[in-house]
Structure 1
């Protein structure tokens, strides 16, 4: 796919996805969603990529939310003809009722966060400026979020007459707790990076000039020292156990993972590199060496 609204770059085993609509503060469109989904798949399939950074172009905005250039039609999907993610026509039946299971009903932000959720590479959000609406909810499926001191956040949906999207009703309370999630969503106010850090939305706040270098420092720590298959398993184990009913579910999976990993070359390399006081060179690859019990969850179509 040729990208027009994002930039994709790989260097030092780190893929960087940059939202690239600086003239509109990197506002989110259906095209941007499709391009980001493609880029995430591209990074996942590349064994040379060990971590992914997502950031925005310029110093004004990470993503200023949905593109509002369609005015009142912005969220009225049936009134719009410019949605590249719209498939199979309208969900409105001949009798006027709505088929809510129709593909055209699906929220494009949710399609993106579900794809991030499925990633086998760690995803780091480097939040360089304004991040409201989908600009903040797309971050919730990322593993580590760091913010520039100039970043601003806002779950502004109720102020626009809609509701939180991008599966944020699942992600946000798990990250910041239900009370803080509701406070931010009920008020719809925009708040600064310090409040985002205090509330647990971001893990650290840095000077604007240090944001990209700090994000790459975190990514390099992962890329240079850890086994990719172990990271892929760990990422899915952690996220999916958030919805588990009992710790026995985690015990079943981590028992399988320890047993399977212990038989692979990575475990031997991890031990020997430590004992020999040298940098590790893990031979196993995500593309071909995931254990045979993976994926352990029911197969679902997130396309």
Structure 2
């Protein structure tokens, strides 16, 4: 069981496990750090202590999955989400939100998160993606955001 993806989808009836407790090994690859943050301490303890097989339906109820789809159209559903992200959201906004989310998760300082987001909002409101997002909304059309590589540079510019 690896949790390195920001968005996680599974088909119905899929088995997941971390077999390390049954092999005499510790929790692998930072799973003991991230899993409690995703599914809560009780569910994480169950998974990490028992090494039992957990089906995708149970992981969805725990909040581990963002989507649970029928096997026959699984990829269609995942591609639908991917197309939406690729065509309707600002790459710079997503990059910044990801950095905010993980920094806030690590530091656990709500006031810092709020203050930092206010600074970022002010910065982003002066950027082209925000102007394009507002124009697209007002015109009832899909947005045409800038180059994702530029978005990464903006998000990494030290403003976050």
Structure 2 length normalisation: TM-score?
0.89
Residue number in structure 2 paired with 1:3: none
Structure of higher CA gyration radius: 1
1:270 and 2:122 are equivalent in the alignment: no
Give the CA RMSD over aligned residues: 1.7
CA distance in 1, matches of 2:102, 2:152: 20
- For the 8 Å contact 2:10–2:69, the answer to whether it is kept is yes
Gaps of 5+ in 1: 1-135, 297-303
Label 1:230 to 1:179 Cα distance change in 2 as closer, same or farther (>3 A): same
Name the structure with the higher helix share.
2
Label 1:186 to 1:290 Cα distance change in 2 as closer, same or farther (>3 A): closer
CA distance in 1, matches of 2:100, 2:81: 21
- For the 8 Å contact 1:260–1:291, the answer to whether it is kept is no
- Superposed, 1:1-303 pairs within 5 Å as 136-137=1-2, 140-283=3-146, 285-290=150-155, 292-294=157-159, 296=160
CA distance in 2, matches of 1:145, 1:291: 25
Give the SS at the match of 1:240: helix
CA distance in 2, matches of 1:170, 1:182: 11
CA distance in 1, matches of 2:125, 2:69: 39
Q: Deviations over 1:203-251 (max 9, x none)?
A: 3322212111111111111111111100110112122211223211112
CA distance in 2, matches of 1:196, 1:283: 36
Deviation at 1:287, TM superposition (A): 4.4
Label 1:199 to 1:291 Cα distance change in 2 as closer, same or farther (>3 A): closer
- For the 8 Å contact 2:88–2:142, the answer to whether it is kept is yes
CA distance in 1, matches of 2:101, 2:155: 17
CA distance in 1, matches of 2:108, 2:11: 37
CA distance in 1, matches of 2:140, 2:100: 29
Give the SS at the match of 1:293: coil
CA distance in 2, matches of 1:187, 1:214: 32
Give the SS at the match of 1:202: coil
CA distance in 1, matches of 2:82, 2:74: 12
- For the 8 Å contact 1:228–1:286, the answer to whether it is kept is yes
Number of positions where the alignment pairs a residue of Structure 1 with one of Structure 2:
158
CA distance in 1, matches of 2:56, 2:125: 42
Deviation at 1:189, TM superposition (A): 1.0
